[in-house]
Structure 1
Amino acid sequence: MFDYRLKVFYTVATRLSFTKAAQELHISQPAVTKHIKEIEQQFNTKLFDRKGTSIQLTQSGKILYDYAVKIRSIYRDLEFEIHQVNQKQKGKLRIGASTTVAHYILPEILATFHAYYKDIQIELLTHNTETISSLLENHTIDLGIIEGASQSSLLEYHPFKKDEIVLVAQAQHPLANTTLKVNDLYAMELVFREPGSGTQEFIEKHLQDKGIILDKLQVIMHLGSSESIKNYLLHSQAMAFLSISSIFQELQNHTLSIIDIKNFNINRTFQLILPKGERSELITLFMRFLTYNF
């Protein structure tokens, strides 16, 4: 129900990229540009400024973005409340989530869910993908949301949310707003996640697929979380690969910047996983809630 042109603008403004918005919306980049131009003509104002290879919101764009967030929320509440009229639910829902999902995606979801269903208790456990799968198979949790590639014959896997891992540096970095070639990475100081991290293994596989020899990279440090990496980047000239889901706030505040790499993308899909077979009413309710709201 969210106006489609406004949805296109919201996606571009969130991603700060016409290309990434087109990929997320499954439409062409010219189509994205067309929708943005139509809104600009409607309001007789410019919404984005180009700065090198990046874009930024104009003052008019920032105003429209604030209202787009409010309108999206109103539509979301309207659609969900209509479908939930007079439904009363109680119980406890045990959710397991991998780190990125638990830290940057689930808090908003769970807060909104609790606003509707105050009598449903939520227990959230944070572990890596392998552990979440094991907990689910042992019925320690009711459902999981993972970022890794895991397959078990005992579980169902449902695509939940797309994510992209991008190269990031502080906004004042000399190479901010530029485009690198993948081999340029050899000359950069890099910060990686700790050995054994599922996300790090995913990144390394994509680098190797592009012919990068990992041992030749200048990895100056391994840190145990996205938060510690982000804070490190703010005080150094190093770069790191991070989930775009983890840096939305920093992009909006212009403290961190995405550095594009020509012909190199690391895309993944977070997955909702649950045991095969009959689902409880609470699991069905939560999945329906995600469909309507996120």
Structure 2
Amino acid sequence: MNLHALRIFVEVASRGSVTEAAFALSISQPAVSAQIRKLENDLDMTLLIPDGRGISLTYEGRFLFEKARRIYDWEREIESQLTEIKQGKKGRLRISSTYLPSHYLVPQWLAQYKREYEGVDVEIRTRNSMQSIELLLSCEVDVAIIIKESWDELPITRIHLTDVSYWFILPAHHPLAGKEIRMEQLVEEPFLLREQGSSTRDWLFALCREHGVKRPQVGMQYHGLVESIHSVRAGYGTMLAPALAVREMVERGEVGRVTVPGVEIKRPLYVCTRDDETDQRPVVAQFLEMVKREKLT
């Protein structure tokens, strides 16, 4: 079946006129009639019959029209949705984030993003820094939001958003709460450590090496930030925690804070994409632009 002729047939049938169809298609009336005759010959059946100054559909013509117009309805729908995809109004955005931004920053970014782009499906995974990088490089996510200092030579483009302050916290009733202590004293406390692959864990160990002290004793190991903080609030353990997550708890006296002379911890937050994607898909490009605006404000 000739699809060009079928399209012309649908136009004639929907308008009930060869003349109006020719005008709508910007082709001559004889060309329209020729295509209809060709379609009828190919199918070996009559589809249209004259009806006054217009045309009527035969039984076969009505059957074909009902079926064929669905094809072009779907075509218009496809074209419409592809346009929305090009404009970033429709699509899928997959994000992996380390725990701090996932809990305290990404939700407000995505709330704003979804208000502007309701038709975009968003999926977010919360992982440690190593896992987030692996997801990005394996093309399982489009964007990774990571707090990390040292980077290997990886095919990743990084945009620095801000630096995040970290504090040492311990239970509110602890005798060291609110005091300034030496690093040697601090590492004697039972620490709540994150899992292998966590950049916070790696950074804490690097800090110990820098100060020439042993690694802290491990009280418990958690695979998550919020769980660790709640353990301290419940009365056990010391940990390195982002100020953004614990500032209000410290102010309310729910956890205590200790400081170490000469140690001010600020860790860089990056939004990352793959190097090989120089032309970002619209949904990704729009998310990155929004995050950059947040950085400026």
Say yes or no: TM over 0.5: yes
Structure 2 residue aligned with 1:138: 138
* Aligned equivalents of 2:221, 2:234: Cα separation in 1: 16
Identify if the C-alpha distance between structure 1 residues 123 and 238 changes in structure 2 by more than 3 Å, giving closer, same or farther.
Answer: closer
Identify if the C-alpha distance between structure 1 residues 224 and 210 changes in structure 2 by more than 3 Å, giving closer, same or farther.
Answer: same
CA RMSD in angstroms comes to 2.3
Structure 2 residue aligned with 1:272: 271
Identify if the C-alpha distance between structure 1 residues 187 and 144 changes in structure 2 by more than 3 Å, giving closer, same or farther.
Answer: closer
**How far apart are residue 195 of structure 1 and its match?**
4.2
**How far apart are residue 88 of structure 1 and its match?**
7.3
**How far apart are residue 196 of structure 1 and its match?**
4.3
**How far apart are residue 157 of structure 1 and its match?**
1.1
Secondary structure in 1 matching 2:201: helix
Would you say how many aligned residue pairs link Structure 1 and Structure 2?
206
Name the % identity. Answer: 18
Secondary structure in 1 matching 2:212: coil
Structure 2 residue aligned with 1:250: 249
Structure with greater Cα Rg: 2
Structure 2 residue aligned with 1:111: 111
Q: Is the 8 A contact 2:163 2:268 kept in 1?
A: yes
* Aligned equivalents of 1:237, 1:179: Cα separation in 2: 19
Structure 2 residue aligned with 1:121: 121
Counterpart residue identity of residue 255, structure 1: E
* Aligned equivalents of 2:219, 2:106: Cα separation in 1: 31
Structure 1 residue aligned with 2:170: 169
* Aligned equivalents of 2:197, 2:285: Cα separation in 1: 33
- The 5 A counterparts of 1:1-294 are 89-148=89-148, 149-214=150-215, 217-236=216-235, 238-276=237-275, 277-294=278-295
Gaps of 5+ in 1: 1-86
Provide runs of 4+ in structure 1 moved above 6 Å: none
**How far apart are residue 263 of structure 1 and its match?**
0.8
Counterpart residue identity of residue 228, structure 1: E
**How far apart are residue 252 of structure 1 and its match?**
4.6
- TM-score, structure 1 normalization: 0.63
Identify if the C-alpha distance between structure 1 residues 293 and 255 changes in structure 2 by more than 3 Å, giving closer, same or farther.
Answer: same
Gaps of 5+ in 2: 1-86
Q: Is the 8 A contact 2:192 2:237 kept in 1?
A: yes
* Aligned equivalents of 2:88, 2:279: Cα separation in 1: 21
Counterpart residue identity of residue 168, structure 2: L
Secondary structure in 2 matching 1:102: helix
Q: Deviations over 1:258-294 (max 9, x none)?
A: 2111112332101111122222222221122112234
Counterpart residue identity of residue 240, structure 1: M
